[in-house]
Chains A and B, each alone.
Chain A
Amino acid sequence: MDYYISVATFAALNVILALGLNLISGFCGQVSLGHAAFYGLGAYAAALCAVAGLPLPISLLAGTLVAGVFGALVGLAALRVRDDFLAIVTMGVGFLFLGAVRKQRWAGAEMGIANIPSPLDNWGYALLAIGAAGGLVLLSAHVRRSWMGRAFDAVAQDEEAAAAIGIDVAGYKITAFFLGTAAAGLAGGIYAHMTQLIVPDAFNFIESITILAMVVVGGLGSTGGVVAGAVLLTLIPELFRFVNDYKLLVFGGLLLLVMRFSPGGLASLVQRLRARVRA
């Protein structure tokens, strides 16, 4: 039973991570190959708060805000670059985070942080993660319906045309980065408390690619698709153990296949099938 609870919790955490990245890449059109860095930032910030004796809500909030603020800064720094250059910059941010955290004695260096206080039981974390994931689904759906979603869409499609009709492109990009990375920080905080141990490698490039694969496989911009993608890519390595050893190969390959054969991911695949059945 414990195993299933833990798988469900990880699936929920991945939903949070993927929906966060979807806000940045799917809604606002900004590529990010360093999403795991913000997951890590949230985990470290929450862990340090918890070790210092702060209660769970405070440490989770700290994780969320630290990741969000750094995310907004990266968004600010990334204003001058687009597309493939932005991909490289965000990838660099991921490596920078790992490189920095590995050298910090106060953050445990290579050994990470152990004995993180864990006030909840497994059920507690499962409910917390699923609740947060549900919250993010609602937020995503709301953003889509709101004027923020329309402005994101305009920015994603043509920045200069968006600016020409009075849309503050820079402001929207930074907002997307803030929201998306704050979500990753929250996931990191929950993760740190639940596992009671965090090490730098849990937030490496492979993790960033895994999150990206969840978003792309599910369908960039589609909230339902991304939730499905996140759950599916959490379950695949659990069902087929060997996948875990070849994660980068399998998920990277999956990314390529989806981009080649169904660029809209599962979401558009389902749509097309439905259209065909009806026809």
Chain B
Amino acid sequence: MTVLECVGLSLAFGGVHAVAGVDLRVEHGELFGLIGPNGAGKTTLLRLLAGALKPDSGTVLYGGEDVTHMPLYRRAQLGCVVTHQIARPFRRMTIAENVMVAAGARTTLHPWRALLAVDSRHARARAGELLERVGIADNAGKSASTVPLGILKRMQVARALALEPQLLMLDEPLAGLNHNEAARFAEELAELNRGGLTLILVEHNLREITRIARRLAVLHEGALLADGAPEAVMARADVREAYLGASTSGIDTHA
């Protein structure tokens, strides 16, 4: 079953073709890794798939439905959820409250319905569960403006999980984490995927992504260069050249 599909997806910023005619298909249960050198258009592609950006041309299908013109919030309500590359917590809330607002998504669907809903016990309990699951329950009561990045990254995942997603798209979830943190978090993401959640990861940490991804695609100058099994993709000469030619800093960790 195809969860997400895009056909001929393109977006240019001025004269720069950030994403140029990408065709992609992600099946249910996949852990799909999207890699590429800096500036390859990975984040732009992810934001197009999520609905945070509108394409110049092409279509996005989610669960077989054309969602190209559906705004970000509607797609999130339908379970097609994205997180931000740079953590964006609600800073004047606690970690638990951040997850609670998302857990209350059902009650906040419509403003008028939200006005009539006061009960927050369910959302509070759900937030507690999810914080437990991503391993930051100890930080529940802390202000989101004071906790370290590693906690925020996990909070973002918990916040996204609160929407009960069918598809979760994470933009560089491992960036900024140290070696051990990254390895542990990658393992937990793989565990989520084994639980049945379809994942798309944009990642710079090649070591971890080649380890956990079931399928890997390489984006180069806005177009797909390769798509397939991680080992096969990484062995290709053109992939290595794209990385080494465009930016050597793209390879931050050799396997």
Contacts and interface: CB of A to CB of B under 8 A. Distances in A.
Contacts of B93: 153, 157
A165 B114 contact: no
Q: How large is the interface on A (under 10, 10 to 19, 20 to 34, 35 or more residues)?
A: 20 to 34
A157 B90 contact: yes
A84 interface: no
B90 A168 contact: no
A87 interface: no
Given A146-B114, A146-B116, A171-B111, A164 B84 contact: yes
A167 B163 CA distance: 11
A58 interface: no
B110 interface: yes
Contact of B112 (A161, A162, A175): A175
Contacts of B102: 165-166
A150 interface: yes
Given A146-B118, A153-B93, A161-B90, A166 B111 contact: no
Contacts of B112: 175
Given A165-B162, A168-B111, A150 B101 contact: yes
Q: Which of B50, B76, B115, B116 has the most CB of A within 10 A?
A: B115
Contacts of A148: 108, 111, 114-115
Contacts of B52: 160, 163-164
B77 interface: yes
Given A157-B91, A164-B81, A171 B159 contact: no
B198 interface: no
Contacts of B60: none
B159 A145 contact: no
Contact of B73 (A145, A153, A157, A163): A163
Interface of A is mostly: helix
A158 interface: yes
Given A146-B116, A157-B91, A165-B163, A171 B82 contact: no
Nearest to B90: A157
A160 B82 CA distance: 11
B109 interface: yes
Interface string A189-219: 0000000000000000000000000000000
B89 A161 contact: yes
30 contacts: A146-B118, A147-B108, A147-B114, A147-B117, A147-B120, A150-B101, A150-B104, A150-B114, A153-B90, A157-B91, A157-B93, A158-B88, A158-B89, A158-B90, A160-B84, A160-B88, A161-B84, A161-B88, A162-B101, A163-B71, A164-B50, A164-B76, A164-B84, A164-B88, A165-B101, A165-B160, A166-B73, A166-B108, A171-B110, A175-B111
Given A147-B104, A163-B72, A175-B112, 15 more contacts: A143-B115, A146-B114, A146-B116, A148-B108, A148-B115, A150-B114, A153-B92, A154-B90, A157-B93, A160-B52, A164-B76, A165-B160, A166-B76, A167-B108, A171-B111
